[in-house]
Amino acid sequence: MGISRKGRNLVGKFYKIPDAVGDWSRETLAREVVGGRNLEVIDFSKLDGKERAKTLAQIAHCCEEWGFFQLVNHGIPEELLEKVKKVASECYKLEREENFKNSMPVKLLNELVEKKSEDKLENLDWEDVFLLSDENENEWPTKIPGFNETMKEYRDELKKLAIKVMEVMDENLGLPKGYIKKAFNGAEEEDNAVFGTKVSHYPPCPHPEKLTGLRAHTDAGGVILLFQDDEVKGLQILKDGEWIDVQPMKNSIVINTGDQIEVLSNGRYKSVWHRVFASTDGNRRSIASFYNPSLKATIEPAQELAEKTDKLAVDPIYPKFVFGDYMSVYTVQKFLPKEPRFKAVNAK
């Protein structure tokens, strides 16, 4: 179903947001969800055949216009994906659910409801989350048979996929193969980039009108690969001032680009606002893996893409900075617009 003509006119008349006001106003003024527009689905296997050029162009279009796309035939074995879903859900049930029931969001929401307050909860997320990385393996869940082996195998596969996706971006941006990966790994040849996996659940919420599952934000890092729930939806992205649902699609991987890809591409690929809504039923599982720069890596627009004017500008939009400094700013400003973050690291 498309947006009706009438709906479009309304968007134009009352909600069209001038470009100059920036992302934050766009986010706050955005209409509530307009259905009917879906992310483009890319058949990644076609990169290896005679449709390579067409597939590259499709991906370029998604990166330039959407900041998000959905991959199928991405090469991750179905069997592995099924195991990942199983161990992640078992882990939630066995090791997380009880804690979530006693968590701050649940307590604060109960309080609001008991007081019959009209207020909303603005500064928290209705999300259970834990992080897997190479550095914290000794803290990975321990009670679920097969959890560690499965997630290790999954992370290996996803890291390879992230590298392939970055190479496609290199090619589409006219950069040497491996450019983005190298930039994220810092000057040295070593494997310094950070590859993390965030395992999230968005449990059913009795009053979803009072809070969000995950507040609107753009992602700080590089390339994000999201394995979202087969059935329960919740993720929305901001496109042309409207929140659009990212429809669940069994065993597909949703790709999006973070703030560092925006900087590196000198704004050709924008990192896009997204959020997760809470809902009364369904416990949405979502596993986000991210290929981020090393905290020591210096990030700046690729020379090939930085225009001369940028170099001469007193206050370029995309500065040169150390990613660790960016993360210090992001940690406190995650749910705010990205532009002040770029300014803050520029001033360092």
- Give the interface with Ni ion as residue ranges (CB under 5 A): 219
Which helix (H) or strand (E) segment holds residue 322: the answer is strand 321-322
Task: Tell the smallest beta-carbon distance from residue 218 to ligand OGA (Å).
Answer: 9
Task: Tell the smallest beta-carbon distance from residue 217 to Ni ion (Å).
Answer: 6
State how far the Cα of 160 lies from the Cα of 76, in Å rounded to an integer. 10
Which helix (H) or strand (E) segment holds residue 183: the answer is helix 179-185
Interface of this chain with ligand OGA, residues 250 to 279, rule: CB under 6 A? 274, 276
**Binding status of residue 334 toward ligand OGA by CB under 6 A:** no
Task: Tell the smallest beta-carbon distance from residue 298 to ligand OGA (Å).
Answer: 24
Residue number with CB closer to ligand OGA (175 or 214): 214
Q: Which of 57, 24, 23 is nearest to 40 (CA)?
A: 57
State how far the Cα of 255 lies from the Cα of 267, in Å rounded to an integer. 18
Q: 3-state DSSP: the chain helix, strand, coil percent, rounded to 5?
A: 40, 20, 40
**Binding status of residue 144 toward ligand OGA by CB under 6 A:** no
Residue 20: how many other CB atoms lie within 10 Å: 6
Residue number with CB closer to ligand OGA (11 or 244): 244
Residue 175: contacted member of Ni ion, ligand OGA, none (CB under 5 to 8 Å, by partner type):
none
Q: How long is the chain?
A: 348
Interface of this chain with ligand OGA, residues 162 to 221, rule: CB under 6 A? 198, 200, 214, 219
Residue 198: contacted member of Ni ion, ligand OGA, none (CB under 5 to 8 Å, by partner type):
ligand OGA
- Record the tokens describing residue 78, joined without a space: 């179905």
Out of 63, 255, 288, 345, the residue judged to bind ligand OGA by CB under 6 A: 288
Task: Tell the smallest beta-carbon distance from residue 275 to ligand OGA (Å).
Answer: 8
